[in-house]
Chains A and B, each alone.
Chain A
Amino acid sequence: MIIQKPGIAGTLESSDAQVTVEPGDGKIEFELESAVINQYGLQIRKITYDTLKRLGIDNVKIKIVDKGALDCTLKARIEGAVYRSCNQYNDLPWGGAIQ
């Protein structure tokens, strides 16, 4: 997939994460804000990169503001932001690129 325009998903509520994606400069640029960055920063980074890989994205600026989100929420918000940036809302690959 190709990030076509900025996309944002999620909130700043507890247990959620707000994810912003925008077209990159030829690579993945990852930025994270989290109160638990020392404990879970690496895990959040891994989930982010794994999710982007499944979606076939290697050119993106992605920013995550984490408010204590579970892994499943992080994935949901990353995918939400990506598919919004691509204007795709139907016929989504549940169980394929989304898993």
Chain B
Amino acid sequence: MMFLNAQKPGLIKDPYIYKPDSIMLDLEDAVAENQKDAARFSLYHALKEIDYHGVERVIRINGLDTPYWQEDIRCAVAGGCDAIRIPKTESALDIHLVEEKVLAAEKEFGRPEGSTLLMAAIESARGVMKALDICDASERLFGIALSGGDYTKDLQTHITGTGIELMGARQNLIIAARAAGKQCFDKVYTNLNDTEGFRKDVETIHLMGFDGKSIINPRQIRIVHEIFTPSQKDIAFSEKVVKEIDSKKAQGIGVFTVDGKMIDIAFYDGAKRTIELAKASGVYKGEL
């Protein structure tokens, strides 16, 4: 998910050429206080007129403690965005407030009801502790995301580059998301010159189970895709696991080996997920 300032025409006119999975057009922090109105016009016309070639368009609205968020929602929904990202989410009530305005906007602008998805950015200690409530708050909510800067400030620490300060929040968020059947996304990595640090950061969150990473520059895309795309070895193994489980189940066999590893039904969902991810990444050539 690549962050882009909605107020900058040069940034939002063609980001799809870098092949991000999604873009997050920002009306919040990236836009100066006296440019909030101008950013909305820019956003609306970009949504209506630019072909983003299937890249999902998520809009970060301003916080619910500002005078901007309700008009942000009207603009984003009228433009036909795919999802709205709610900043500084701290409770299920925040989700309900946004959901109500989104539904009203869908009705006002003739968009299909329920077509605008939501995601919640968690940026505080309270938000982390309420993560499961937030995840369960709405059918529209497809995922949650950690926002590191504000969260570490709230914790009275700072981004160290080691990830130590984020361990608890990351763990809590991924567990809450999985418990609720939602997706979970990690924060941005702001030091663009530290490629090795970025790679380690992405490897860590990948191993933790996150579904993706927020990024701030196209040059970070390749590394995220490299780490999140299943290897051909993983794909081949997963394919064997799915096929073997399907065939052995018919024969009444529950436990067997594939490439010397003991396999049972518990491996099935993970193997299927690897195949689905390989398909989504465009690297699967098999027949499953």
Residues of A bordering B, CB below 8 Å = 9-10, 13-16, 69-73, 75-77, 79-80, 83-84, 89-92, 94-95, 98-99
* Main SS class of interface, B: helix
| A92/B9 contact (C-beta < 8 A), A72-B48, A72-B49, A84-B37 known | no
Are A98 and B9 neighbours in the complex by a CB distance under 8 Å? Answer: no
User: Which residues of chain B in 103-143 are interfacial with respect to chain A, using CB atoms and an 8 Å cutoff?
Assistant: 109-110
Among B17-25, B74-82, B265-273, the stretch in contact with A: B74-82
Instruction: Work out how many contacts link A and B, with CB atoms closer than 8 A.
Output: 69
B115 to chain A, nearest CB (A): 15
B42 part of interface (Cβ distance < 8 Å): yes
Chain B residues with Cβ below 8 Å from A76 are: 9, 38, 41-42, 44-45
Chain A residues with Cβ below 8 Å from B71 are: 89-92
Chain B residues with Cβ below 8 Å from A79 are: 41
Chain B residues with Cβ below 8 Å from A9 are: 38, 41
B178 part of interface (Cβ distance < 8 Å): no
Chain B residues with Cβ below 8 Å from A91 are: 71, 74
Residue of A10, A84, A90, A99 touching B48 (CB-CB under 8 A): A99
Are A13 and B10 neighbours in the complex by a CB distance under 8 Å? Answer: yes
Are A94 and B8 neighbours in the complex by a CB distance under 8 Å? Answer: no
Are B79 and A94 neighbours in the complex by a CB distance under 8 Å? Answer: yes
Are A83 and B37 neighbours in the complex by a CB distance under 8 Å? Answer: yes
| A98/B44 contact (C-beta < 8 A), A13-B8, A71-B49, A84-B37 known | yes
CA distance A43 to B110 in the complex (A): 31
Known: A72-B50, A76-B9, A91-B74. 8 other contacts (CB 8 A): A70-B50, A72-B45, A76-B41, A90-B70, A94-B75, A94-B109, A98-B41, A99-B48
